[in-house]
Amino acid sequence: MSNFIIKSIGNTLNAASYISARYASNKALKLFSTPRKGRYSLEQESFIKDAKKNTISYQDLSIAVYHWKGKGKTVLLAHGWESNASRWSYILEKLKDENYNIIALDAPAHGFSDGKLFNAVLYSNCINEVAKIYNPDVLIGHSVGGMASIFCLFQNDLPSVKKLVSLGAPAHFVGVFGRYKDMMGYNNRISKTMDKLVEERFGMTTDYFSAAKFIEDLDVETLIIHDKNDKIIPYEDALLFQKHYKNGNLITTKGQGHGLRGESTIPQIIEFIKA
């Protein structure tokens, strides 16, 4: 959306908040949770054409899963916001070359999965359902897929998972939520009521959902990759992960941005999985 549209929506909801803060905040939260893109284009569909396709159910959602069979370690791939499993096209062939057993999923409201709304807690539960079926040795998550993978490991017993690769992941929900509020220009009435709505829905305050804190309790070896000039998730989030987790290694890139699709990190990811 253009800055003009963003500010127009923010101003409209700010005005509505003086009539009903709860109504305006529900609208703001729904906007935050609704992906505007992430379904497959025709070009992206070619990426999954040779995969064995499956679906798993979580609550009333059908989640699309893709499987490239291999005899090596099982690697589960979790994409980020407004994306789908095709985002792994840059590394898939390298993983195949190593004969890894590769699993990828489309998040709720993305790709060919059901749903209209998305959040990291819901995503983590879907990742857990997939993991219970395929017993991955390694989880690789990009952006909110990395955050959701950490949520998943924190909340569930998945003994098969020994390693985690986190690519450009946010360290805490408060930061993501705050940047959204700032971008939209919401007033304090909406901001505070949105926080209350999250607490009502999930039973925890927004500051509870901290991947950096959750990772302290994980018994998995972790590789954190983050670009120094990431404009979506600040590099400070990677440093926060590093501060909280002593069983992790941080690789800093420059010039790859938030997407982190550079060829230079692929050998490092492969080496980490192999070890």
pLDDT of residue 138: 98
pLDDT of residue 204: 97
> Considering the chain, what percentage of its residues have pLDDT values greater than 70?
100
pLDDT tier at 244, thresholds 50, 70, 90: confident
pTM above 0.75, yes or no: yes
Predicted confidence (pLDDT) per residue in 1-46, tens digit: 678 899 899 999 999 999 999 999 999 999 999 999 999 999 999 9
Other beta carbons within 10 Å of 29: 21
pLDDT tier at 134, thresholds 50, 70, 90: very high
> Considering the chain, what percentage of its residues have pLDDT values greater than 90?
95
CATH architecture assigned to 40-172+210-274 = 3-Layer(aba) Sandwich (3.40)
Ranges of each domain in the chain: 1-33+181-208, 40-172+210-274
Mean pLDDT across the chain: 96
Cα torsion 222, 155, 213, 172 to 10°: value is 90
Predicted confidence (pLDDT) per residue in 72-121, tens digit: 999 999 999 999 999 999 999 999 999 999 999 999 999 999 999 999 99
Mean pLDDT of 57-81: 97
pLDDT for 248 beyond 90: no
pLDDT for 246 beyond 80: no
Q: Cα angle vertex 23, ends 20, 26, to 5°? A: 145
pLDDT of residue 247: 75
Mean pLDDT of 134-162: 98
Rounded to 5 degrees, φ, ψ at 158 are -125, 80
101-105 β-sheet, strand order: 52-58, 61-68, 101-105, 74-78, 138-142, 163-167, 221-227, 248-253
Predicted confidence (pLDDT) per residue in 217-232, tens digit: 899 999 999 999 999 9
Distance of CA 192 to the CA centre of its chain: 24
Mean pLDDT of 163-189: 97
pLDDT of residue 207: 96
Mean pLDDT of 119-132: 98
pLDDT for 123 beyond 80: yes
pLDDT of residue 218: 92
DSSP-derived secondary structure letter, 206: G
Alpha carbons 273 and 269: distance in angstroms, whole number: 6
pLDDT for 272 beyond 90: yes
